[in-house]
Structure 1
Amino acid sequence: MDLVFSDIHADFGALGKILKITTSQEFKRKYGKFTRIINLGDVLERGTHPKEVLSSLCSLEKNYTVISVMGNHDEAFLYNRPVSGSSFESLNAHKVLTAEDLSFFSKNTDGTFGQQTSIDKKNNLFFVHGGPLDPQKIKPKDIAPIEEWLYQNSWQRISEEEFEYFSYYGYYYLPSSAFVESNNYFKNSVILCGHQHAEKIIEQDANHSIRELSLKCITERISDFLVEKKEIEISNFCNYLIRLGIGGPEGYEPGSQNPHFGIIQHDQKKVILFEIK
């Protein structure tokens, strides 16, 4: 089983809640024990405890396989590309991060950090922060350097319109384009992303018809926490685009959002999304 989260945003309290719930005996009896952690990016910025979050993730790497992809806020901090939204308290907490703290982010031979996507061919899983589209296929020629970054996988967003478009919030893509890209690697794929902080579940059936799934929320109490869950049965004949809600809401308007996480149950072919109330 995999534990999945996205957009922790330096929120150590929220990460702690997620780990307390998922490592509790009650959770393990009901859902199983996770052996792999999928971090869909945006570990940094907005929140006020980046050092503690990074330390916790490094500790988890000692006991679990941790797969991480880069988020746009991770890149903004590591490449010194300012993105608005962080408070002075958050900015100051990030200023004191050391090279040792940031060792969680692997450095590539070309000087960049981490990976934009991660692909699990055994289980037909595609992990990305924003979207799976190949930036080289969607960006125009002679693009300005400042705009080129916004076409990266870490900046891509699911479009709410019936068309694709670019803005200074990133490239907005259609689910159909996402499935075309993932099908280059395997059929009947499950794409897991974050970035936009709100859950969304999109299914493409064998006839290529696409619909957004509206699933029943089930409320339960686990390890002294009240959680709401949505269970997604994964069909062998469909493609899925599943967007997780925000993991760490500390740096946003108080009370506007709750911590989210998910699990992937490989034996039952199921993805379950959780919101901590």
Structure 2
Amino acid sequence: KKVVSDDWLYQRTWQRISETGDDFFDLSGYHYRPEHAFAYAKETFGRGFLILCGHEHFEACYLEIDEGARNIINGMIRRKEVFSGSVVHVKAMMRQKGVNYLVRVGIAGPEGYARFGENRSHFGLLWEHKGMDWIGLFSLVL
């Protein structure tokens, strides 16, 4: 007997970024194109917003360009820091004023994935340094 209905699958809550070029539903939820997230958020926030999301295994950082989107994660500044003996991998970039961003921080921790050997924690930070706003994605092995 089914305890929970499948109605939640058809709600357009922003759950996962689609990398296929199409919006679609499956048992893991609603998959949306970054362009659709930008269009939806612009109705409320105008320009210069940042959408921060998770619910996926890999980090991503999309920038809206001419009603399209481009994943700029590979162009971010990369470095390693050591905190209390743990190596933290950092990807960072300065935010541009008036530009829209969609940032996926990756999986928040090993919950549900430890049995597959996934023991990396991901998190994101926003900060200000010398008058500039920064976006940072951090990961470390637990």
TM category, shorter: 0.7 to 0.9
Is contact 1:157–1:171 with CA below 8 Å preserved after alignment?
Answer: yes
Once the 2 structures are TM-superposed, how far is the Cα of residue 177 of structure 1 from its aligned partner?
Answer: 0.5
CA offsets per residue over residues 136-156 of structure 1, 9 Å max, x none? xxxxxxxxxx23212346672
Q: Which residue of the other structure, out of 38, 42, 45, is the alignment partner of 1:183?
A: 42
Q: Which has the higher strand share?
A: 2
Inter-CA distance 151–157: structure 2 relative to 1 (3 Å threshold): farther
Question: What are the residue-to-residue correspondences of 1:2-151 with 2, within 5 Å?
Answer: 81=4, 146-151=5-10
Once the 2 structures are TM-superposed, how far is the Cα of residue 219 of structure 1 from its aligned partner?
Answer: 1.0
The answer for the alignment partner of 1:276 in structure 2 is 140
Report the RMSD for the aligned CA atoms in angstroms.
2.1
Runs (4 or more) in structure 1 with deviation over 6 Å come to none
Inter-CA distance 251–190: structure 2 relative to 1 (3 Å threshold): same
CA offsets per residue over residues 42-87 of structure 1, 9 Å max, x none? xxxxxxxxxxxxxxxxxxxxxxxxxxxxxxxxxxxxxx75xxxxxx
Once the 2 structures are TM-superposed, how far is the Cα of residue 269 of structure 1 from its aligned partner?
Answer: 1.2
Question: What are the residue-to-residue correspondences of 1:113-262 with 2, within 5 Å?
Answer: 146-152=5-11, 156-186=15-45, 187-205=47-65, 207-213=66-72, 214=74, 215-252=76-113, 253-262=115-124
Is contact 2:49–2:98 with CA below 8 Å preserved after alignment?
Answer: no
CA offsets per residue over residues 74-121 of structure 1, 9 Å max, x none? xxxxxx75xxxxxxxxxxxxxxxxxxxxxxxxxxxxxxxxxxxxxxxx
In 2, the alpha carbon distance for the partners of 1:254 and 1:157 equals 21
Identical pairs, percent? 35
Radius of gyration: which is bigger? 1
Structure 1: runs of 5 or more not aligned: 1-79, 82-145
Once the 2 structures are TM-superposed, how far is the Cα of residue 216 of structure 1 from its aligned partner?
Answer: 4.3
TM-score w.r.t. the length of structure 1 is 0.44
The question of 1:263 aligning with 2:125 is answered yes
Inter-CA distance 196–167: structure 2 relative to 1 (3 Å threshold): same
* Aligned positions, number: 133
CA offsets per residue over residues 152-200 of structure 1, 9 Å max, x none? 4667211111111122221111111100111112212100001113211
Q: Which has the higher helix share?
A: 1
Give the SS at the match of 1:198. Answer: coil
Structure 2: runs of 5 or more not aligned: none
Is contact 2:14–2:32 with CA below 8 Å preserved after alignment?
Answer: no
Letter in 2 for 1:218: R
Is contact 1:248–1:259 with CA below 8 Å preserved after alignment?
Answer: yes
